[in-house]
Amino acid sequence: MLDLFNHPMRLHADPSRVVVRPFHIAWQAVNGMPSRTERLVKAVLELSPAETRAQLAIVLKDFEARHWQTRRVFMTRYDEIEAQMGLDGSQIGDEKRQLIGAYFCHEYSYAAAALMNPSAVPHHDQSGMPKGSMRILMSLRAVGEGHISSVAFREGIITDTNDLVLAPEPPFCTAADAIGDELEMPEGAVTVYRHRDSTLSGTLLFPITKAQSNGLEDMRLTHFTHDDGSAEWLGTYTAYNGSVIQSEMLRTRDWREFDLVPMTGSAARNKGMGLFPRKVNGKYMMIGRQDGENIFLIESDSLTHWDEGVKLITPKYPWELVQMGNCGPPIELDEGWLMLTHGVGAMRKYSIGAALLDKNDPSKVIGRTSQPILAAADQDREGYVPNVVYSCGALRHGDKLFIPYGVADSSVAFAFVSIKSLLGVM
């Protein structure tokens, strides 16, 4: 019998959570005429000191209490505009510079529509934890205006008695950003930095490259151990530009600096890639779903290049006949690699199951659940996309599995399950 405890806590979309983002106006001049950016800056520079002070006062009255160090944000944005336009800042007063910066920012409600599809890893700071407790870090998919997805984080503590306490969200949220952000979205890999005064629970990863312009979706975090024993936190996610998807990887060792790296190879054109937390038999290994229906095992000599794999698990039971996929990276046990799966059945109802892979040869499936361990039911069915439960990554804590999961693409719920009982129903 499955020993599963559903925690009463739920996280929901919250339109009051806002972040200041750069506002991009067409930069290039056309037919020799000044660009919109140049015209806007010129108009502000021509304001009298009194007009400048009055307009800045209106902006600060509306927004200063809603954001962290608003004036500094405006000044930082001004510096970026100055660098692009070749302005002489020494001839421009602070008030004008702040006002120019404000014209090139906008407020974005990043979780107004939905909060969903979490993954969890051990927090990098376990200091002061009593026996039986673990500090955790979760990534969550936050969906805001225009159905644009970004990655939010929450820190918390779990215990061996099924308790969960989340660190409070700070009143302000800041977006990690590139140094010297360009007026146009960059291409390829990019490095972004957490604001020096921001906690992780108050940090957002917002789309910054052209490939990401319509969203960063469904991050699957992994605490990865390299051959030399060093640790790195890696997160596979889907970058979406409005028409094309691309798998990318977050890489960080300190949770201050984040590399966002596009992955290459034929498998990287698909969603839902889940990385094993270490090499197996000298190879990096990934779970994927190249055909959108079955679960594949992929191996590579590179963390960021993934070609076609071998079919590992196909739909078998009624609750997974439409399609299958992983619910996060495999988790290492003495018994093998434990992998949560998702299945889609009649009426596009999602359920979460599990499979156990051989520890030395993950292409061998030792067992799988014939019934879901979690399924959309009762009040959990209603939401932005009905009848969905979905996780991007569970976490082992002692003899239990902590499973954060999205409900109806709208909210986040939490469950604890005994690993022994889970293996027992396979």
Which residue segments constitute the domains of the chain, with CATH numbers given? Answer: 4-16+110-424 (2.115.10.20), 18-106 (no CATH)
The whole-number average pLDDT for the span 152-178 is 92
Kindly report the number of other CB atoms within 10 A of residue 53's CB atom.
14
Q: How far is CA 131 from the centre of its chain?
A: 30
Q: How many residues does the chain have?
A: 426
pLDDT band for 183, please (50, 70, 90 cuts): very low
pLDDT of residue 150: 96
pTM of the model: 0.89
Contacts of 324 (CB under 8 A, 6+ apart): 289, 293, 294, 295, 313, 314, 315, 341, 342, 343, 344
Interatomic CA distance for residues 309 and 297, integer angstroms: 5
pLDDT of residue 329: 98
pLDDT tens, residue by residue, 395-413: 999 999 999 999 987 889 9
pLDDT tens, residue by residue, 303-315: 999 998 999 999 9
Contacts of 182 (CB under 8 A, 6+ apart): 80, 84
Question: CA nearest 225: which of 268, 297, 287, 275?
Answer: 275
